[in-house]
Amino acid sequence: MRRLPLLRAAAAALLLTAALSTTGSGAAAVEPAEARPPASAGLLDALRTDLGLTRHQAEQRLAAERTAVKTEQRAERIAGAAYGGSWFEPATGRLVVAVTHEKPAAEVRGLGAETRIVRHSAALLDRAKTRIDAMPAPAGVAGWHVDPRANRVVVTVVRADRNDRAVRAFVERARRAGPVDVSETERAPVTYAAGTVGGDPYYTGNVRCSIGFSVHGGFVTAGHCGRAGAAVRGWDGSAMGTFQGSSFPGDDYAYVSVHSGWWTVPVVLGWGTVPDRLVRGSAEAPVGASICRSGSTTRWHCGTVLAKNETVNYSQGAVHQMTKTSVCAQGGDSGGSFISGDQAQGVTSGGWGNCSTGGETWFQPVNEILGRYGLTLHTA
């Protein structure tokens, strides 16, 4: 039986001390806010460095975001068909909920949220995006998503290709599908797999990727890192497990079962930047919330949630239902953990830029992966 050294940070993004007391939990398990320990000094320092916050501001923001997660779930139920989406507003520390008429707004405000009256419901915008999802996209189109702030579907094109005939034709067809705005980006996103580098978390073939989150029996990661049936090696080259399921493109997620010599714990590595993070659930953070990423190449970085349910147009094909963030990443970070506070969010898929000059990164939401394979998140 092979066992990993407990203090080896590069071992795997879910392996830590076996002495942690853990209990099984469903995918949507959320610990009451009053039971959570205070934020660590390392996490507060990371938010200060990556988001420009003081320690006090970081503490206030994390507390406000925990409240916003609960408020968002209740507000959507209250607004019903009038729900137009929602987002966290860092300047006020409150959730903003869009509604299509005033009737449910007062009840939503009673939850402590702000409201905005908008023209289009979230359901209408989602239907428009679904119609766009069915359109073949040229390489100059980076992706598209529903933007609750703009109350429209936003199609993002590569700036250098904005006048390309195929790009313009796609945008024209998209506008016929529903209310659409167009934004520009410097570069198209790419996946973040990398060639083999000794001593890093896991390998399949000649590809290195990062572990996402522990589930009972294994871990979840990015689908482009390996196909079903592919063998996985650990940081030391020993047999670690097997891809039991994998989807890419269309989706970008996978499930790897691990051998008996490897164990799983509800931990995301902080790589010495912050203390290793316990995972206590998978409640989804709203647009505008802070979020951090752990990966085997660039380790720990933080940013904010920029958009949800975005279709990302990689060269290999489109991937749906992705979440866009301002967090940087690089090759080898694929599959790694996105976490908000102590709540698992998703696994790193791809993006553009790097952690020297900045960029944007997308992740596949973890709850979708758990549901797809019938997995149970390993929580503390």
Residues with catalytic annotation? 224, 252, 334
- Measured in whole angstroms, the distance separating CA 283 from the mean position of its chain's CA atoms is 12
Tell me the C-alpha distance between 108 and 45, whole Å: 34
Q: Are 287 and 88 in contact (CB under 8 A)?
A: yes
Q: Indicate if the alpha-carbon torsion angle 339, 268, 328, 224 is positive or negative.
A: negative
Q: Which residue has the tokens 């940087």?
A: 328
Other CB atoms within a 10 A radius of the CB of residue 167 amount to 20
